[in-house]
Amino acid sequence: MIKIIDGGVTAAKGFKAAGVYSGIRKGGNKSDMALIVSDVPGNAAAVYTKNKVKAAHIAVTRRHLADGIAQAVLCNSGNANTCTPDGEEIAEKATQIAAAELGIKSEDILPAATGVIGVPLPIEPFEKAMPELVSSLSEDGSKDAAFAILTTDTYIKEYAVQFEAGGKICTLGGIAKGSGMIHINMGTMLSFISTDCAISKEMVSKALHDVIIDTYNQVSVDGDTSTNDTVVVIANGMAGNPEITEAGADYDEFFQALKIVSTELSKMIAGDGEGCTKLLEAHVTGAPDKDVARLVSKSIICSSLFKAAVFASDANWGRILCAIGYTDADFDASNIDVSVKSEAGEVQVCKASASIPFDDDFATEILSKKAVTVEVDLHDGTEEAYAWGCDLTYDYVKINGSYRS
């Protein structure tokens, strides 16, 4: 049985984290550098953005993870370290500075960054802040690290669970950031996950790649795929369970724990979209295959017209059918049922791809809540999928019109 617990990325045994202000961000009113460290090296895996233009840290992290081993993550906010002439050099130097302070190998430190693209990232903030950052490392430091990696986010994002493997209690937790430039396809979406479960390099990589498809990749705020998207998992084995090396009951428990944490972090990212007022979830059932279900659900939450209607609490269900209809997938669109629901209740707005009478005032009440779900049944199979997004508001334009200032 999987149990929700507190602690985020430091909930698992042997992990510490910290966040401090280094001088990268303007103003000095928010921490901008985070460090997550395991007491021992662990088996690790990562997934990155599919954008052809990638942040410099991705190239460095790929090299450092070539052996499947990592011990720490170093992340700055306020500067994406993307499209800069010396980006990789800076990322490498930053890990070397951290390694010297920590007394570990620089190759076991994975760099990450988020913020403005195309602005050179100086090395001086890393040199200045590293002693304080390392000395601040704490088993209670998850929130500090989670806060330090935020950009336009309005709240920290952390989640943790416990599960059993091989007769031992294992813990898995993580933090994430993401608010704008979010159209994840593996936005500036970052997620760092730690676990004390003993699991092989091959199996932790398999689990992450399989989880991504139905969690982070099903999130969209604005349709822009970031240059910096990165998800990292480090498993240090300190729970003491027999190492998971193949499929079976223990792997299934690990996978479910990873999926729960990844799903909750994905929903937090979607619900904190720039300027948004509501979390929008699309649940598609009755699809002919899993890919169709994923594509249709994501098409719905990506529709700017429907997102604007949700902002206004307008049950303009025709926009849902329109978004379903232009999905690049093969399915029968002649018998689609649609309902909208929230904590206020549920109402069906479309049956067999056609209009039906419904209480428009009740639908408006449903859509006025902070979390809104669109239920779609394609009646064309047995597969299902979820996707998460948010409403589209006036403030989205305001935030992005002044992002650099």
Torsion angle of C-alpha atoms 351, 357, 358, 360, degrees rounded to 10? 120
Identity of the amino acid at 116: V
The one catalytic residue among 82, 114, 188, 227: 188
Look at residues 207, 264, 225, 210 and name the one whose alpha carbon lies nearest to residue 388: 264
Active site residue 215: no
The Cα–Cα gap between 288 and 382 comes to 6
Enter the tokens of residue 12.
């698992």
- Packed helices 318-325 and 304-311: angle between N→C axes, nearest 10 degrees: 160
Biggest CA-to-CA distance, the chain = 68
Query: In terms of residues, how long is the chain?
Result: 405
How many CA within 13 A on the CB side of residue 120?
Answer: 6
The Cα–Cα gap between 79 and 114 comes to 6
Q: E strands of 88-139, at which residues?
A: 109-116
The Cα–Cα gap between 285 and 384 comes to 4
Percent of residues in the chain assigned helix, strand, coil, to nearest 5: 35, 30, 35
Identity of the amino acid at 51: N
Q: CB atoms < 10 A from the CB of 41, how many?
A: 17
Q: E strands of 187-299, at which residues?
A: 190-195, 230-235, 279-287
The set of catalytic residues is 188
